Amino acid sequence: MVAMTLNAVPDWKFSSAEGKANYEAACRRYPAQCIVDLAALKDNMAQLVNVVGGPNSGTAVMGIVKADAYGHGLIPAALAALAGGATWLGAAQSHEALLLRKAGIGPDRCHILTWVYNGTAVPFDELIANDIDVSVGSLAGIDAVAAAARRLDRPARVHVKVDSGFGRNGFTPQGFEAALNKLVPLAKEGVLHIVGQWSHLAVADSPDVPEFVASTDRQIESFKDFTRRMEQAGIAPEIRHLANTAATLSRPEIHFELTRPGIGLYGYEPDPAMGTPSSYRLKPAMTFQAQLGTVKDVEAGHGISYGRTYLTPDNTSTAIVPVGYADGIHRSASGFDMQGAEHVQKNGGPVRVMTVDGPKLMRVSGRVCMDQFILDLHGSAAELGVHEGDTVELFGPGRGEAFAEPTADDWAKAAGTISYEIFTCLRNRIPRLYLNASKVLDGRDLAKLDPASLL
Ligand SMILES: *Cc1c(COP(=O)(O)O)cnc(C)c1O
């Protein structure tokens, strides 16, 4: 008898027989899949554009697609962001900025900004030749960009990065005089085109903490001081940008000419302290699902996984979820029980499991291994109707309490991190599959995607 498998994720709506075949092929290839809804990405971007006042407000929106679009897939996410009204894309690493242009996203469609490099080994020539804007935040960086622009005999479009208090990249107020001394003659000579002035906020996601609000206010004042100094030096920036998702959602006074949301595009608020995604009309775009491996009965007191940190409290069944820390499941999301004095009670990462009585939230029991982790089903698998091959959900859009559906925020809580790290750690051996591609993208853009990835 073939056991009927239960499914803890929605029945995916495939666009075609090919989409269904792609899904089945991905499930054969790997026992876990990331399903990314391109319609959600597009709608999230449209909502962020709405938040800054719409397409004609004078504030443009840059979709931040660094780190493979926070693990969602660089090109599909970038195209969905453009479909939603983004007119800029941002990628920290120049490699990814170049991949966007190589995929055929030309300067006629959007500006692209990149900002992480060391001034000695970055492909500035290629960046300038591909109409990619670059950040300058160090004297060595200015020299290197200028040298490349001279070689190409073409002005480099630069955004001057200022350190308004974040303490990462950019010129400090003290160091800015030296930067201006280099920038002004290069701008006058036409080697550099000073497009922007920008900076990054340290704690914009804590609107409830007065101390943090005050430090953000100080960053804004500092940012404006830098603008005044650029104006006085005769190189006023054409556009200024400071707002990440948090400030895009909560600080309209600093939208300036451009905002740079990242996590909001993927449907999450930057910090659960700010509320839920739905309070900002955002919808998490990714569902992370897996098919169960071995399901079996074990006796009470059975040690589960390395270190025997979890001992089954009762006779029970266990199920293997076939992804582990080599897939990006944080080992810190391991779950321990309360047996014995040394054992700390700690909730492991949550997994939505479908049973004959409806969905139940199970948790990682014991340590996460390299390629798998174990769930204590807290009951008999036969009675619960749980079988090898069932599809379980690690996280999804979070359809409310009644659905018992975890989100990446819940995994972040279990792992002691933030949703950003949950997404970006998911390895590329896990297939990324895309829903609603043909609804969101025109034929020209659809052709830029791997056809095997479309559902
Ligand atoms: C990542 C990043 C952003 C986007 O931040 P979110 O919190 O994801 O909105 C914006 N600007 C810079 C410089 C970044 O590195």
Cα separation, 239 vs 197, in Å, equals: 7
Task: Determine the atom of ligand 1 nearest the C-alpha atom of 66.
Answer: 1
Q: Which of 66, 161, 283, 346 is catalytic?
A: 66
Active-site residue, selected from the candidate residues 188, 296, 306, 439: 306
Name the CA radius of gyration of the chain, rounded.
24
Q: Does the CB atom of residue 170 touch ligand 1 within 6 A?
A: no
86 C-alpha vs ligand 1 centroid, how far in Å? 15
Task: Give percent helix, percent strand, percent coil of the chain, each to the nearest 5.
Answer: 35, 20, 40
Predicted local confidence at residue 343, as pLDDT:
66
CA of 101 relative to ligand 1 center, distance in Å: 21
Q: What gap in Å lies between CA 315 and CA 455, rounded to an integer?
A: 41
Range 38-271: architecture per CATH: Alpha-Beta Barrel (3.20)
Q: Is 44 in the pocket of ligand 1 (CB under 6 A)?
A: no
3 pLDDT exceeds 60? no
State in Å: Cα 65 to ligand 1 middle. 9
Instruction: Give the mean model confidence (pLDDT) for residues 70-77.
Output: 98
| pLDDT of the residue at 2 | 47
Q: What is the best residue among 260, 263, 266, 424 to mutate for testing ligand 1's pocket, by most ligand atoms within 8 Å of CB?
A: 260
**Residue 434 is among the residues annotated as catalytic for this protein:** no
Least confident residue range of 120-124, 148-152, 277-281, 341-345: 341-345
Residue 336 pLDDT class (50, 70, 90 cuts): confident
pLDDT one-digit tens code per residue, 122-165: 899 999 999 999 999 999 999 999 999 999 999 999 999 999 98
Given the CA of residue 92, which atom of ligand 1 is nearest to it?
15
205 CA closest ligand 1 atom index: 7
Measured in Å, residue 64 CA sits from the centre of ligand 1 at 7
| pLDDT mean over 298-314 | 92
The per-residue pLDDT of the chain, averaged, comes to: 94
Detail the residues annotated as belonging to a binding site for substrate.
Answer: 168, 370
Instruction: Tell which wins on pLDDT, 398 or 100.
Output: 100
Q: Is residue 135 lining ligand 1, measured as CB closer than 6 Å?
A: no
8 Å CB contact between 440 and 43? no
What average pLDDT does the segment 385-403 reach?
Answer: 91
pLDDT per residue over 350-361, tens digit each?
999 999 999 999
Domain boundaries of the chain, sorted by first residue:
38-271, 285-417
- Six token digits for residue 274: 């700010």
Please tell me if the CB atom of residue 244 comes closer than 6 angstroms to any atom of ligand 1.
yes
Strands 286-291 and 391-395: antiparallel
The CB of 419 under 6 Å from ligand 1? The reply is no
Going by C-alpha positions, the residue among 367, 385, 368, 364 that lies closest to residue 376 is: 364
Q: Residue ranges for the binding site?
A: 168, 370
From CA 283, how far away is CA 157, in angstroms rounded?
Answer: 34
Report the pLDDT averaged over residues 306-329: 95
> Residue 1: its pLDDT value, please?
41
Confidence of residue 203 (pLDDT cuts 50, 70, 90): confident
Mean pLDDT score, 207-228? 90
Residue 260 Cβ < 6 Å to ligand 1: yes
d(CA 251, ligand 1 centre) in Å: 15
Contact at 8 Å (CB) between 295 and 386?
Answer: yes
Ligand 1 contact via 200 beta carbon (within 6 Å): yes
Multiple choice CATH, 285-417, 2.60.120.200, 2.40.10.10, 1.10.3720.10, 2.40.37.10: 2.40.37.10
Cβ of 216 closer than 6 Å to ligand 1, yes or no, is: no
Closest atom, ligand 1, to C-alpha of 263? 8
Q: Over 90: is that where the pLDDT of 438 sits?
A: yes
Distance CA 26, CA 453 (A): 8
| 350 beta partners | 363
Q: Known catalytic residue: 161?
A: no
User: Which burial class, exposed, middle or buried, applies to 5 when counting CB atoms under 10 A from its CB (0-12, 13-18, 19+)?
Assistant: middle
Place of tokens 């201006």: 180
Once rounded to an integer, what is the mean pLDDT over residues 293-307? 95
More confident residue, 436 or 205: 436
Query: Measured from the CA of 264, which atom of ligand 1 is nearest?
Result: 9
Token pair 């443009």 in the structure block, residue: 60
Residue located nearest, by CA, to atom 13 of ligand 1:
200
Q: Please give the Cα distance from 371 to 190 (Å, whole number).
A: 54
Whether the model clears a pTM of 0.85, i.e. scores above it, the answer is yes
Pocket lining: 245 vs ligand 1, CB cutoff 6 Å: yes
Of 192, 170, 179, 62, nearest to 124 by C-alpha is: 192
Ligand 1: distance of its center to the CA of 209 in Å? 20
pLDDT at 123: 92
Measure 244 CA to ligand 1 centroid, in angstroms: 5
